Amino acid sequence: MNIAIVGTGYVGLVTGTCFAEMGVDVTCVDVDAAKIEALRQGHIPIYEPGLEEMVLRNVEAGRLHFTTELTSCLQDVEVVFSAVGTPPDEDGAADLRYVLEVARTFGQHINRYTILVTKSTVPVGTAQRVKEVIQEELARRGVAVPFDVASNPEFLKEGAAIRDFMSPDRVVIGTESPRVEKIMSRLYKPFLLQRERIIFTDIASAEMIKYASNAMLATRISFMNDIANLCELVGADVNMVRRGIGSDTRIGRKFLYPGCGYGGSCFPKDVKALIQTAQRAGYPMEVLQAVDRVNERQKGILFEKLLRHFDGDLKGRVVALWGLSFKPETDDMREAPALVLIERLLEAGCRVQVYDPIAMDEARRRLGDRVSYCRDMYEAAVDADALMLVTEWKEFRLPSFNVLKRTMRTPLILDGRNIYDKEQLQEQGFVYYKIG
């Protein structure tokens, strides 16, 4: 089977590479000529464990190709996946200009039955707009070429995307066509040999499933952060509370860990987009509005703890940050709590020293020379008045606290992910703050 993937961002590149790994002939398309040339040379624009090796292997095998023109491969493929960006507008709604551009190109050039599958996260009703654009272009050409539109939302976790794609817990396909069901079942069959996990729905439901899934997970995170903050005020232990409620099978243990807020390309954007979708339908999503507010407040909680510790006097303080990406195993800093913290620290007159195992280049691109970039975690802590753990990379789990004690000016640790033992640190002479 031959397919095309439009968009070589996180979703598009992982999707295309994983399909190629199963023997599908895949052409990845992107308007960014520099990115396409880099991919042809074996340079991967994103960090994802195992992705680079898989890309190189499938390029060498002749199953994975890169181009700037969808038209160069459109007549050879059965399915076109649209995995272009849907950045938020000023009001938080998803910007569909790139999705509709793909639809327009598709309608302008198809000459035989082809399926256009939207993989991008889009509001309910987008498929209908996509279909209308394609039909408009076909009418303009004066031809009646058969086509179908479908929705196939992705559920990849950054840092585990290849594993998630190769062994999915579910594959959601929104379609109104038995022909699409047959073709998409054949395409996904290699990933579902052990257990059938494909769910066919109508298109509107498939579009909603992705938003609703991310919104539910974001809700759990914000709820737990609210509970953690309350635990701190009333003297309860949030870890005990987490274990207690997580043992209830109706609730479960996942996404109950308090922290300094969620970030990334999905949760913040999708929560805001779903709120906007609801507003346009005349319905207020009051729970999600609160989820968004709680998360924005939570991103500054380590700063607030630091401010209280120093009685509001932060000018000239040196603060070390461990972790810049929004989560481990990625260099993605979109909506990362570290960015909020750095801005507030700099505004307060602090000097900020940062280290991240992977995201340093991305940090330099975003922050320039406003912070000091360190070669390792210990260099970041040199002469620091405080150390903030923001992203729970594995290498941060068991640091040498003796080294930190010797190198830091003030033995103060603010743990944004609750990975350290409070009693142990206090015994070693540290002042320790966690979430909750």
Q: What is the rounded CA–CA span in Å between residue 416 and residue 394?
A: 14
Instruction: Point out the catalytic residue in the list 18, 73, 266, 350.
Output: 266
CA distances from residue 188 to 63, 176, 229, 250, 330 in whole angstroms, order as listed: 17, 18, 44, 31, 26
Place of tokens 């199963």: 22
CB count, 10 Å around CB of 236? 14
DSSP state, 140? H
Per-position DSSP letters for 56-104, written without gaps between them: HHHHHTT-EEEES-GGGTGGG-SEEEE-----B-TTSPBP-HHHHHHHH
Is 415 in contact with 396 (CB distance < 8 Å)?
no
In the annotation, is 266 catalytic? yes
Q: Tokens 């609210």 appear where?
A: 226
CA distance 101 to 86: 12
Only one residue has tokens 């994802």, namely: 48
> Nearest Cα to 151, choosing from 206, 113, 107, 85?
206
- Start-to-end CA span in the chain (Å): 52
Identity of residue 263 = G
28 with 12: CB under 8 angstroms? yes
Q: How far, in whole angstroms, is CA 410 from its chain's centroid?
A: 35
Dihedral of alpha carbons 317, 318, 322, 323, sign: positive
Cα–Cα distance for residue pair 249/373, rounded to 1 Å: 45
Report the run of H or E that residue 207 belongs to, with start and end. Answer: helix 203-234
- Element (DSSP H or E) covering residue 118: strand 114-118
Q: Which residues are catalytic?
A: 266
